[in-house]
Amino acid sequence: MSENPLISWYDDFLGVAYRYFDIRMNVVLMFNDHTIKIRFIETGDDYWFVMGADSRRPDTNKYFYKILEKSENYERFKKGHQGSAYMRFGIYSKKTVDQVKNDAKCDCGHRKDDHDKDSHACLYEVCECTNFDTFQLNILKKKKVVTNIKFLSEDDVKDDSLAWNCLNRNKYSKTD
């Protein structure tokens, strides 16, 4: 057999744990424990989502940020989080018309069988959808409790090292 050169192998984790007490046995890959911090920095109608995962090994630290528009779900989370949340990973995938059943909903809100069989445009007269499109969010089971969550205004950023590092690198030191 020939080797697939596209595969990159990763062995930078601590070990493998086996759990016997469920119906199925579990194989668990153990990584270094990371301390996860999340910051929401509000700048008018937008906010910066900033997440940092620190461990005792700085080379495995990971930092993420994204500038997003404030949404209803964001405001709901802000009001309701009470200082902790589960952090989980999800896989977002777009599905085409051939990959879903007839009752699948298009992003326009109408079912697949309300769309033209050939052009895939929505058949509702009031609808401007010209092509069936839908997405699926698969949330992975692995989760981690995050208790270090802060909502900040831009004035507070200088007092928070994670927020400061992010905005300094990605906003204040940018010249365009």
Q: Give me the residues that bind Zn ion (CB under 5 A), please.
A: 106, 108, 110, 122, 124, 127, 129
Determine what percent of the chain falls in helix, strand and coil, rounding each to the nearest 5. Answer: 20, 40, 40
Backbone angles phi, psi at 136, to 5 degrees: -130, 135
Sign of CA dihedral 156, 162, 167, 173: positive
Which is closer to Zn ion, CB of 86 or CB of 124?
Answer: 124
- Shortest approach of Zn ion to residue 111 CB, angstroms? 9
- Shortest approach of Zn ion to residue 71 CB, angstroms? 22
Length of the chain: 176
- Shortest approach of Zn ion to residue 101 CB, angstroms? 15
Buried b (16+ CB within 10 A) or exposed e, 59-87: eeeeeebeeeeeeeeeeeeeeeeeeebee
CA angle (98 as vertex; 124, 92 as ends), nearest 5: 90
Which is closer to Zn ion, CB of 41 or CB of 122?
Answer: 122
Which is closer to Zn ion, CB of 38 or CB of 122?
Answer: 122
Which run of H or E residues covers position 46?
strand 46-54
Which is closer to Zn ion, CB of 47 or CB of 132?
Answer: 132
- Shortest approach of Zn ion to residue 108 CB, angstroms? 3
- Shortest approach of Zn ion to residue 96 CB, angstroms? 12
Which is closer to Zn ion, CB of 89 or CB of 124?
Answer: 124
